[in-house]
Structure 1
Amino acid sequence: MDLTKFQKQIEGSSDKARPLPPVENWNPDFCGDINMVIAMDGRWFYEGTPVGRASLVKLFSSVLKKEEDNYFLVTPVEKVGITVEDTPFLITQWKVLEEKDNSKTLVLVTQTGDEVRLNNEEQIELRVPPEEIRDKDATAIPYVCVRRNLWARLHQNVYYQLLEKAEEKSNGDTTRFLIHSANRNFVIGEVNQSK
């Protein structure tokens, strides 16, 4: 696979009025798998070498598509399979925006610069991470939907920062850690007290 050719296909097909290409509308023939990996830590590798240009990673992430459990890079004329070790995105930063109605919205930022405004309960779910990074108790951590069916895991530093700001609520056996965003509560952690 020629990454330069693939890059030109992506750049030539993007609608300038729209920040992301409409990959959900593209269904080209499958051209095979390439040796590209999105590692557990959010870094992209091609042929075992890190993709060093942030602009190239951002471009490739804009044409990422997930079908069932498989990930692909897609242009209008080409579709290639890649490997994703956990999730394609990692939340590496966060900020709080004050809205016009004086409410506050938590914005989560990925390693590729995608911003997710947390305003719907379906955007976040607790999952047990892969064995390589889970704690000994296999505690579930928050995963966030970035777009379509592409998810991000919170970087450990971001997760701990948000836990410090979280409100604790207990209902007997379970303590939940809640963050408030867009006038809603989001569960970012749970501890079962009966253990």
Structure 2
Amino acid sequence: MSNVELKGLSEAASFQTAQASLPPVHTWSPPFCGDMDLVIKANGEWFHEGGKIKRSAMVAMFSRILWFEAGEYFLVTPVEKVRIQVEDAPFLVTEWRWIETEYGQAIEFKTHTDDVLILGVDCDLWMDFFKGEERPYISMRYGMKALVRRNAFYGLAESLERVETSKGTGMGVISAGKSYLLMEDE
């Protein structure tokens, strides 16, 4: 991606948390231009050409143009599409809190890239395995996912209650009137 395109995207993507502030990536169909040496590690850190990207604003800007397609991740602009590598989930939930919504009490998640999502409205929560370890995830835009950071999940675990879902019965959370099973009864 050229510096001119990145500058234009940084101006367009104002780093606000509202979905309306995201660039219209879903409307762009640029040609594939090759691979970029950018890796999002399983712990949520972003590395470019072997060096960690330390500026959170740069990570947030890149996250706004991230696209998931056919099991692969790309950074896209209106004119270019480059493939990057993601070890697990490209986003990381760092904070959560209970809020009141029109759907009742709900959990609001915030990612390390300042995305804000409401469980049961903007995203869903589930458990899955990564390299043999069971981990909690939430859904994100364009079919992507965010790993719920360990400290955030431990805080969330204090709110567990009995739930019944189509997947079974056990301990979970209820947010915006929807139940999420996190630990199934044996």
* Matches of 1:121 and 1:127, distance apart in 2: 19
Q: Which runs of 5+ in 2 are unaligned?
A: none
Alignment partner, residue 190 of structure 1? 183
Trace 1:3-82 onto structure 2 (pairs within 5 A).
4-11=3-10, 18-82=20-84
The one-letter amino acid of 1:176's match is: G
TM-score (norm 2): 0.85
Q: Which runs of 5+ in 1 are unaligned?
A: none
* Matches of 2:163 and 2:180, distance apart in 1: 12
Alignment partner, residue 148 of structure 2? 154
**Counterpart contact for 2:98–2:105, Cα < 8 Å:** yes
* Matches of 1:153 and 1:34, distance apart in 2: 23
| Percent pairwise identity | 34
TM-score (norm 1): 0.81
TM-aligned CA distance change 1:191 to 1:147, over 3 Å: same
* Matches of 2:171 and 2:57, distance apart in 1: 36
**1:100 deviation in Å?**
5.5
Residue 111 (str. 1) matches residue 112 (str. 2): yes
**1:169 deviation in Å?**
5.1
The one-letter amino acid of 1:63's match is: I
- C-alpha RMSD over aligned residues: 2.7
Displaced runs of 4 or more, over 4 A: 12-17
Q: Give the paired residue count.
A: 181
Trace 1:120-135 onto structure 2 (pairs within 5 A).
120=121, 123-131=124-132, 134=133
Alignment partner, residue 92 of structure 2? 90
**Counterpart contact for 1:9–1:75, Cα < 8 Å:** no
